[in-house]
Amino acid sequence: MLDGKNAIVTGGSLGIGTAIALDLAKNGANVAINYRRHDKEAKEVVAEIEKMGRKGLAIKADVSSFDDAQKMVTEVSEKFGGIDILVCNAGINRDAVIWKMEEKQWDEVMATDLKGTFNYCRAVAPVFREQKHGRIVNIASINALRGKFGQTNYSAAKAGVVGLSKALAKELGRSSVTVNVVCPGMIETEMMANIPEEFKQKARDETVLGRIGRPEEVAALVTFLCSNAARHITGEVIKVDGGQYI
112-129 pLDDT, tens digit each: 999 999 999 999 999 999
pLDDT in tens, 198-232: 888 989 999 999 999 999 999 999 999 999 999 99
The pLDDT confidence band at residue 111, using thresholds 50, 70 and 90, is very high
CATH tag, 6-240: 3.40.50.720
Q: Which of 142, 144, 124 is nearest to 133 (CA)?
A: 124
CA separation for the pair 174, 197 (Å, rounded): 47
First to last CA, the chain: 32
Q: Is 154 a catalytic residue?
A: yes
CB of 136 within 8 A of CB of 180? yes
Q: How wide is the angle at C-alpha 179 spanned by C-alphas 178 and 182, nearest 5°?
A: 130
What is the reported pLDDT for 175?
98
How far is it, in rounded angstroms, from Cα 101 to Cα 94? 9
Sorted by sequence, the CB contacts under 8 Å of residue 40 that are 6+ apart come out as none
Nearest of 58, 10, 8 to residue 29 by alpha carbon: 8
